Amino acid sequence: MIKILVYVAIILAIFAIGYVVRVYELATSLKGKKQHEVTDSDNRMMGKIMLTFLVVFFAFVIWNLESFGPKMLPESASEHGVGLDWLFNFNMTILFFVFTITHIFLFYFAYKYYGRTGNTATYFPHNNKLEMIWTVIPAIVLAVIIIFGLKAWNTITAPASDNAIVIQLYSQQFQWTARYSGTDNKLGDSNYKLITDTNPLGMDDNDNKGDDDIIVKNEFHIPLGKEVEFKLNSRDVIHSAYMPHFRAQMNCVPGMTTMMHFTPRITTQQMRDKLNNQKFDYILLCNKICGVSHYNMQMTIIVDTEIDYKVWLHAQATHKSQVNASAAKPVAAK
């Protein structure tokens, strides 16, 4: 019933506006003015409206920043992400400054120089000083942004250290699987031709480096303050490993291994306390639309203290122990 009343009110408002416009047109014709003639008074009124719009517009922008700013991502949970956040804020500060100045001039000039009878625009075809200013200043600003951007990019793409923990993230429609490199910190060989229902990653059991590998689903753990190198693979189509809280993303491409690395700086519990939200979790997402159940490609990331991480990792079964347990199961009689 309320919806019907709202629709009726909107329709009546449209009719009311139409009649107001019609009354205005009739009043104009009675005064002896042409219906579509634009007068100095009309231009003056539009100039004031422009100035009013400037104030209302910036009030709306500030309201949006106040309302939706807190809904953005929390502070970065990775060390390199701190620099990326600074670079983002640096760019946004420049953009907002230029945005503010240009719009103030735009609407103020619309108010100050509204059309007046007999006024003509000044013919101003060329000015070397102005052209030099609006060429050199943007060039300098862009050069600074590019230099900072390249510095951040080089930090992100630099090779991981030899002590980094190696984890494989294996993507397929529509799930993630994490494989830890075990005590030797080396992943065992795998091949898509070896994939079976009991060997979803196609691990080569003849490669001893894979005996201590650990395979987990649903969630994976990483330690605080330790560099983690991710080796990314895809079984079917292009996926994208996106970890927004760590400011990290890399495509997973079939037939090749891509890599990225970062160092966690805030544990899951610390972030929960910071946000006053004990249900908060870091998350791994797929950032490529990879099929009808793309939205299901999520995996929880837990950042532990180093001690808690070692306890959790020690409790996980290795690939070799899983193979032995599977081989020891009795075969059902036919």
Q: Alpha helices, DSSP H only, in the chain?
A: 2-30, 40-68, 79-112, 128-157, 268-275, 306-314, 319-328
Residues 145-187 pLDDT 10s: 999 999 988 888 888 998 999 999 999 999 999 999 988 888 9
Q: Is the pLDDT assigned to residue 276 strictly greater than 50?
A: yes
Residues 74-100 pLDDT 10s: 999 999 999 999 999 999 999 999 999
Is 252 inside any structural domain?
yes
Is 125 inside any structural domain?
no
Is 77 inside any structural domain?
no
Higher-pLDDT residue of 33, 62: 62
Q: Give the per-residue pLDDT at 334.
A: 46
Are 250 and 215 contacting, i.e. CB atoms less than 8 angstroms apart? no
Q: Is the pLDDT assigned to residue 33 strictly greater than 70?
A: no
In which element (H, E) is residue 262 found?
A: strand 258-262
Residue whose tokens read 């009726």: 8
Is 124 inside any structural domain?
no
Is 262 inside any structural domain?
yes
Is 71 inside any structural domain?
no
Q: Which domain holds residue 189?
A: 165-320
* Sheet with strand 258-262: strands edge to edge: 214-216, 175-180, 165-172, 228-234, 258-262
Exposure string of 202-223, with b = 16+ CB inside 10 Å and e = fewer, is bbeeeeeebbbbbbbeebbbbb
Percent of residues in the chain assigned helix, strand, coil, to nearest 5: 50, 20, 30
Q: Is the pLDDT assigned to residue 304 strictly greater than 60?
A: yes
What integer is the mean pLDDT of 245-263?
93
Is 286 inside any structural domain?
yes
DSSP structural state of residue 330: P
Report the CATH number at residue 296. Answer: 2.60.40.420
* Cis bond before residue 174 (omega within 30° of 0): yes
Angstrom distance (rounded) from CA 239 to CA 151? 27
Is 315 inside any structural domain?
yes
Cβ burial, residue 228 (10 Å; 0-12/13-18/19+): buried
Number of domains the chain contains: 1
